[in-house]
Structure 1
Amino acid sequence: MTATLSDTLLRDDRRTALIDDLTTVVDQEVSDKHGVSGAVIKTAYAAAKKMRPGLVPGALNRMLDDFVVALDPMYGDYRAAGGAGFGPYLVSRSDEASEALLSVSDGRAQRTSMESLRKVYEKLRPTGRKNVAEALPRLGAVIEQHATAG
């Protein structure tokens, strides 16, 4: 039986490196945003990080288990199909992958005790699917890198 994504990525010996790489993905995705909406995202991201240093890796760590569970079925399908990379595979299922990931962050945003962060999230949520879809190539590459690491 093939190990699930959860079995592989949620091991204590892999978690910290995965969180570090996912934080880099978030930083890169925010940095790549352009135009008016990009400026809004960059400003909100900088403000959130300033209000709470360590916010991004901390949030990723808290949500990692749920993110991995959300991606597990897609990763299993990808492995069974023998695809050419998990990033391109996620892109091919962009709507499903984006919604699976956003359902995790939506739930966390609803339960947060930090009203200011909830408000920022709610302002950015309408463009969430587009932003998550744009991140899928990088996200998939990082997931695959860590899932296949010795």
Structure 2
Amino acid sequence: MKVCPTCQAGVKRTEKICPYCNASLKSWKRRMYWGMGFVILLLLIAPIFIHVYMDKVTSSTKQIDQMIMGLEQDNYAMFAEAVGAPLELEEQAQQHVLDYMKNQSLTEFKKRTTRITARAKRDNKNTYVHHEDGSAVLDVHVSKYNVFYNKVEVKLREPVLHWVASHE
């Protein structure tokens, strides 16, 4: 037997509705406990998935891969999109930029750029990437909107474009 919470009458355990006052005898506590357990489990697991997702979204390696692929394929538009270079350069200037950037070991340049962007992301500091000839060619900017995840952006330095324009 169990007691009806409304009329305090004794009813059978199998009853879903009190035969005396028609009150529901279903336990709301059981559903509440399951719901709270699910929410707690979700709160414990969600940060893991959010971290993995944000690492993929804020990854600078996609940008670096697109930059290197643009250089390898001799595609200025792909390279410019990856590093924020202007698309309105003349074809000759575009080719000068590509030739200057390809005038180095691209695998070493990719390793160096990846290492420097990872350090900038970890230390939350702006820095730059050098060409093999010693001149700085890429700026690595840390996003000013970093809250939970550091994000860096790689951009072609303005002096490189001015240098290319002067050597046309």
Specify if TM > 0.5: no
TM-score range, shorter chain: 0.3 to 0.5
Mark the structure with the bigger radius of gyration. 2
Q: TM-score, normalised by structure 1?
A: 0.33
Structure with bigger RCO (C-alpha 8 Å, 6+ apart):
1
